[in-house]
A and B are shown apart, each in its own frame.
Chain A
Amino acid sequence: MSEYIVKENALVDFFKSLASGRRLLTPQGLGDKCKLEETPPDKVNLDFSNTHMSPKSLLFPQTEALMAFHNDASKPQAFVYQSLGDKGEPLAVFGIRPCDAKGLSIANKVFQNDRFTDNYWKGKIDQAVLVGLACDNPSPQCFCAAMGGSPFGEAGLDVLAFRQGKDLGLKPLTPKGEELVKASGAQTANLADAIKGLEAEAVKSQGVPPDYKGIDNADLMALFNDPHWLATAENCLNCGVCTFFCPTCHCFDIQDETSEKGGVRMRNWDTCMSWLFTVHGTGHNPRPSKTERVRQRFMHKLKYIPLKQDGVRGCTGCGRCVAMCPVNIDIRSVALKMTQTAASQA
């Protein structure tokens, strides 16, 4: 696939073509109000840093009703749960950052893999085309490069868009993306070298990435049993903000709620930071204190997910948890401690 270019004066037409037959969602609003919203093609904003929350709620809403039943015995199928469908719709999402797209690709392997498929996730992602916008000026909180990504990363995207002066460069990455770009009337252009140059500069702005490779090679139990977890977790509030904001956190809780008329089964975001997350019906809790819970979060991100997903880390370096944690527990400092454990074991 070659690259394409959309000239500044053709941008609105490009977004019109994205919006044709689909809803166009792009980041709108500033700071903590920045979120993916339906956008008229002439109102797309390219000057944002990132959405306040990750885009995962597009595919995995905080609350999603999965099934429902009615209790009117005079009608058929009383008291029988019926699926409410996946609620997928044709979407073009423009402006996803590479860290977040990579985050979705990691969660995607949890919801769709060789063992099972979650139709509620699949129904949405199949109808969405994801156009990322590369970061030419990463925020101070970003560390995608340290986590094996890049401000121009491609994982999870159908198309990578990038600013080329005042124009918009496009690199299709999937057949779905190629089709979208071709239909938009964008001009082909050879931009491979331009991308390389822009990417190198953006990566440079994040400084020399720390090396966490030690964690990948370290013995799992050595990392698990290291005494540092006690101190690492000591100031944690167990609030779960880190997990709610993380693009790769995907744990959920299934709940049934009933009313006079029937009931609904829904799926809600859950958080491993909560005491309730692991408590058994007997009252036994295998993760009784915040030390075990904090360890779980970081071991999951930096050791268990890489083991299951061919070395890809469960943290993409979006920096949200670092910025949002009320007590500044910084995954980079924790990764460093884990790297030190690994080194002392070697």
Chain B
Amino acid sequence: MPALTDITNKIRESAKKLLASGQAEVVIGYRQGTIPMTTSPFFARTADECDLLVWSNFARINLANYLPGRAGKVAMVAKGCDARSAIGQVTENQILKDNLYIIGVPCTGMIDTNLVVAKEARPIREVVETADDSITVKGQGFSTDIKKDEVLRRNCKTCVNRTPKLANELVGQEVNGAAADDFADIKALLAKTPAERMGYFKDLIKDCLRCYACRNACPLCYCPVCFVDETRPQWLGKSTDPMDTMTFHLLRGLHCAGRCTSCGACETACPVNIKVREFNRVMELTVQNNWNYEPGLSWDQKPPLTMFQTDDAADFIK
């Protein structure tokens, strides 16, 4: 049986059990999308609805995004990165650990549809996901096989924690991720002059519409009112002024420092394909270098930017 079908069946089975036993009032998973290469976050509350849950190469949105502030018992389907986000939310007191059940899916990576379109530009009307290491896209008069390795999202290529080991249960065989994310690209970027770096980031966001889909898709961005939406005082202009846009991205990067699990939801959501994670990656590396900290790897770790230690390496704080 193809791995995806096997996982789909196990998710449905688990979801039904959780609902029947009262361990969860709702199971947040994915259903098939209405157009090729999409899935849609789906809230299953009945056994029939559980049969709509699927696993796919396109389960890219991070469902931890729907957890903060949720009352009652909830189960979520989670890839490695998504489970880390959910655990991070527990450590940030956004949801009670006892109310959360993680159905962990050992993940072999999600597909970047832009890379698929780069390989097959003709309009795609159907995608077949029965093979484990490739997909087949079909359209008028063509059927093209594409190796999954060649079209993985960039965050999936460097993902170390593909198996959500802290999940309440695992559906599917454990998988190994990359040995380590060496941040080679970010190190090279940081070696440049400030002016070059500014140039890089200005160019990166030049098409940004400030729709805030990246923020809204991010499980870290749960503030009741984001600073960009504050009106008294209004911190940020509403036009397409490049400085306002840059301010949004820089502040969001800082707010997410030490919390981003590289789930890639922001980049998946961005309608103009901006590599939003570049900002976050710089901050991840900085936090790792300073505090040797990675988020979402234990239930009781404390995010470094929320705590104070007398033996802190920085002088200014003592």
A residues touching B (Cβ–Cβ < 8 Å)? Answer: 30-32, 49, 52, 62-63, 137, 139-141, 231, 234-235, 237-241, 244-245, 253, 255, 257, 266, 268, 271, 274-276, 279, 322-324, 326-330, 332-333
Contacts and interface: CB of A to CB of B under 8 A. Distances in A.
Contact of A239 (B35, B40, B217, B273): B217
Interface in B6-58: 33-36, 38-43
A240 B43 contact: no
B271 interface: yes
Given A234-B43, A257-B237, 16 more contacts: A52-B272, A63-B239, A140-B125, A235-B43, A238-B216, A240-B211, A241-B211, A241-B213, A241-B271, A255-B237, A255-B239, A271-B211, A276-B231, A326-B61, A328-B39, A330-B35
A52 B125 CA distance: 18
B39 to A, nearest CB: 7
Interface in B43-84: 43, 61, 65-66
Contact of A328 (B33, B211, B272): B33
B123 A49 contact: yes
Contacts of A245: 271
A111 B117 CA distance: 37
B213 A326 contact: yes
Contacts of A244: 209, 211, 271
Nearest to A321: B271
- Interface residue tally on B, bucketed by range: 35 or more
Interface string B207-250: 00101110011000000010001010000011111000000000
Given A32-B273, A63-B240, A239-B212, A326 B217 contact: yes
28 contacts: A31-B114, A32-B272, A49-B123, A63-B239, A139-B123, A140-B125, A235-B43, A237-B65, A237-B213, A239-B212, A239-B216, A239-B269, A240-B211, A240-B212, A241-B211, A241-B271, A244-B211, A244-B271, A257-B237, A257-B239, A268-B239, A268-B240, A274-B229, A276-B229, A323-B35, A326-B61, A327-B41, A328-B35
B139 to A, nearest CB: 8
Given A32-B273, A241-B213, A268-B239, A140 B123 contact: yes
Given A235-B43, A326-B61, A326-B268, A140 B229 contact: no
Contacts of B225: 275
A333 B34 CA distance: 9
Interface in B247-290: 265, 268-269, 271-273
B313 interface: no
Nearest to A64: B239
B160 interface: no
Contacts of B140: 137
B271 A328 contact: no
B1 interface: no
B137 to A, nearest CB: 11
A235 B40 contact: yes
- Most chain A CB within a 10 A radius of its CB, from B121, B212, B241, B268: B212
Given A244-B271, A326-B61, A140 B35 contact: yes
A245 B269 CA distance: 14
Contact of B117 (A31, A140, A237): A31
B205 interface: no
Contacts of A327: 40-41, 61
A31 B271 contact: no
A327 B65 CA distance: 12
Interface of B: 33-36, 38-43, 61, 65-66, 114, 117, 121, 123-125, 139-140, 209, 211-213, 216-217, 225, 229, 231, 237-241, 265, 268-269, 271-273
Nearest to A139: B123
A273 B66 CA distance: 17
B34 A328 contact: yes
Contact of B240 (A62, A253, A330): A62
B217 A237 contact: yes
A239 B221 CA distance: 12
B35 A141 contact: yes
Contact of B271 (A63, A253, A324): A324
A253 B61 contact: no
A323 B38 CA distance: 9
B97 to A, nearest CB: 23
Contacts of B211: 239-241, 244, 271
Contacts of A332: 34
Contacts of B124: 140
Contacts of B139: 140
B114 A32 contact: yes
A231 B43 CA distance: 8
Contact of A255 (B117, B217, B238, B273): B238
Nearest to B140: A137
Given A235-B41, A327-B40, A322 B34 contact: yes
B216 A237 contact: yes
B274 to A, nearest CB: 10
Contacts of B273: 32
Given A241-B211, A326-B213, A326-B269, A31 B39 contact: no
A326 B43 CA distance: 16
- Most chain A CB within a 10 A radius of its CB, from B61, B124, B216, B268: B216
B124 to A, nearest CB: 7
A332 B268 CA distance: 22
Nearest 4 Cβ contacts at the A-B interface = A239-B213, A326-B269, A328-B40, A63-B239
